Amino acid sequence: MAGSIYGNIFKISTWGESHGKALGVTIDGCPAGLELSEEYIQSFLNRRKPGQNKYQTPRKESDRVEILSGVFEGVTTGTPISLIVYNQDQHSKDYGNLAECYRPGHADYCFDKKYGIRDYRGGGRSSGRETIGRVAAGAIATKILNELGIEIKAYVKSIGPHVINYNNFNFDSIANNSVSMPDEECAKKAEKYLDSLINSNDSTGSCVECIINNMPIGIGEPVFNKLDAMLSHGIMSIGAVKAIEIGDGVNASTSVGSINNDPFRIKDDKVIKTTNHAGGILGGMSDGSQIVLRAHFKPTPSIFSPQDTIDKYNNEVNISIRGRHDPIIGPRAVVVVESMCAITILDLLMLNANSKMDNLAKIYK
């Protein structure tokens, strides 16, 4: 399974299965001289921790992170940072009945065909717990970006048919509801919707929006490693994401040029754009305005209703999934989306350090 390493300069290598001993990540290429503590990383992991409200799996995991290397006297040394989280509350027995059959909407069938073997306990490497490594690494990337003035904020924009109203937008309120929505009114409706789905043993899709402020201009490499292409790679690599939009996204395909083009103007001696249909990215590079992107998550595939499927002997069977599962993915994925954005942007920022002779001269002359 090539594919558990991400990034070109700021490289992260994640590992671990849902029901194995532990999960973790190693970050290679983190600059030296960054203050870093376990508490700081923990604060990010706590945001994705299960069991925090009734819309989340009751699996109890403290998800306590430990720094094993790369930090000396509270500061990064430039050597690889190894982070580990031990698994605790595993109910592997819940999955015994899944050893031989393929859950619809899950990776089970593909795993068996690709590798000829599969750790069937809890989704193995395709479990939501795989994101622990992303978030732990994302915490570090976020800290570096913050020190350079860049801010990343994600939130749930919609749950099923319930979409936030930007007139009610209050980012800080996402901590006040159990669905990470920045619109209290919408959050309440969404919670009711979730209650009804839980009652009917069903689940729902959702949309997470992410905004990034204070981006330097010119981040992203034209052609194949455009900022939007790299962000799409990172975001689409999160389990259950089925679409990614930048700026106006799918609506750009029904717009016209005279509207979609964002005019440049000068305001207070600064370059601004009077609109931001582009979502802050032009020609694959950041244009200095706010970056806006959306990730669309499919409904949690683990539902408790009986479902048609097959087993590994090609028998048609009907399964009822047990175990502990969220009825929605978006709210707990908010911090994962932020993390993938942070890692991706930091990596491109580091690459961009070599874009012109002037930059090299700043460092070596």
> Rounded to an integer, what distance in angstroms lies between the CA atom of residue 231 and that of residue 208?
14
**Total residues at interface with a copy of itself (CB under 8 A):** 168
DSSP H or E stretch at residue 327: none
Out of 40, 52, 62, 78, the only residue in the binding site for a copy of itself (CB under 8 A) is 78
The least CB distance from residue 178 to a copy of itself, in Å, is 18
Q: Does 331 bind a copy of itself (CB under 8 A)?
A: no
- The residues that bridge with 272 in the sheet, in sequence order, are 265
Nearer to a copy of itself, 45 or 159 (CB): 159
160 φ/ψ angles, rounded to the nearest 5 degrees: 55, -125
Distance CA 358, CA 30 (A): 23
Nearest Cα to Cα of residue 131 among 211, 61, 58: 61
Q: Is 364 in the site for a copy of itself (CB under 8 A)?
A: yes
Stretch that binds a copy of itself, among 19-27, 45-53, 55-63, 173-181 (CB under 8 A): 19-27
Q: CA–CA separation, 135 vs 46, rounded Å?
A: 10
- Give yes or no for a contact between 282 and 291, defined as CB atoms under 8 angstroms apart: no
Q: Which is nearer to a copy of itself, 47 or 125 (CB)?
A: 125
Distance separating alpha carbons of residues 147 and 349, to the nearest angstrom: 13
Interface with a copy of itself in residues 170-209 (CB under 8 A): 197, 201-207
Which residues ranging from 35 to 64 are in contact with a copy of itself (CB under 8 A)? none
User: Within a 10 A sphere around the Cβ of 350, how many other Cβ atoms?
Assistant: 16
* Touching a copy of itself, residues 117-156 (CB under 8 A): 117-119, 124-126, 130, 144, 147-149
Q: What is the DSSP letter of 49?
A: -
Task: Tell me which residue has tokens 């309440």.
Answer: 188
CB of 26 to a copy of itself, least distance (A): 5
For residues 21 and 86, the answer to whether their CB atoms sit within 8 Å is yes
With respect to a copy of itself, which residue has the nearer C-beta, 175 or 223?
Answer: 223
249 in contact with a copy of itself (CB under 8 A): yes
Nearest residue (CB) to a copy of itself, 15 versus 168:
15
CB of 20 to a copy of itself, least distance (A): 5
Choosing from 33, 39, 165, 172, the residue that interacts with a copy of itself (CB under 8 A) is 33
Q: How many Å apart are CA 63 and CA 4, to the nearest integer?
A: 20
Provide the mask over 258-297, with x wherever binding to a copy of itself is found by CB under 8 A and - wherever it is not: x-xxxxxxx--x-x--x--xxx--xxxxxxx-------xx
Of the two residues 172 and 321, which places its CB atom closer to a copy of itself in the complex?
Answer: 321
**SS3 label, residue 343:** helix
